[in-house]
Amino acid sequence: MEQLHMYHIHEILHQRRQGVSARRIAEDLGHSRSTVERYLAWGEAQGYLDRTKPLPPPEALVVTEGERLTPPHMISTVEPYRTTVEALLDQGVEMQAILQRLRVNHGYTGSYSSVRRFIQRIRPQDPRVCVRVETSPGQQAQVDFGSAGRLLDPALG
């Protein structure tokens, strides 16, 4: 688990203050439930989940080094085969086939989950975009279908 960005921490705390469950927060933000629960416990200890007080801005939520929330990093059993795995990924080989090739060609005895976690770490996918619109009750109607029209992609113009 890596250290989360201050905006992610802010969003976790904000959603919890709105009554959203840790499971739903983890699903919405793409983090594990244990990561979300760890940050919720930290936020509770800091008093950030008290709804009677305003939630501090994201910049105030930077977790200091002394309050490090990440466990020590374990080396993957797939690490010795990194170059092989990367070459297979470049060829478009799927994870299950990579596992089979590692077992047959290199005597790998690990699990599919180990291969999947390793690949997700070395080749992370782009996160899903979620835009939250907050308005006063009755000020705006929202639907979850349809089109927002053409939008400018800042990366590609």
Question: Tens digit of pLDDT for each residue in 41-62?
Answer: 988 888 888 888 888 887 777 6
d(C-alpha 119, C-alpha 77), whole Å: 12
Q: Are the C-beta atoms of 53 and 29 separated by less than 8 Å?
A: no
Domain boundaries, the chain: 6-67, 79-122
Provide the pLDDT for residue 128: 74
pLDDT band for position 110 (cuts 50, 70, 90): very high
pLDDT band for position 125 (cuts 50, 70, 90): confident
pLDDT band for position 70 (cuts 50, 70, 90): low
- pLDDT of 138-152, one tens digit each? 787 666 666 667 777
pLDDT band for position 64 (cuts 50, 70, 90): very low
d(C-alpha 132, C-alpha 142), whole Å: 11
Domain 6-67 has CATH 1.10.10: yes
pTM comes to 0.43
Collapsing DSSP states into helix, strand and coil, what is residue 113? Answer: helix
Taking residues 19-24, report their average pLDDT.
92
Q: Are the C-beta atoms of 42 and 62 separated by less than 8 Å?
A: no
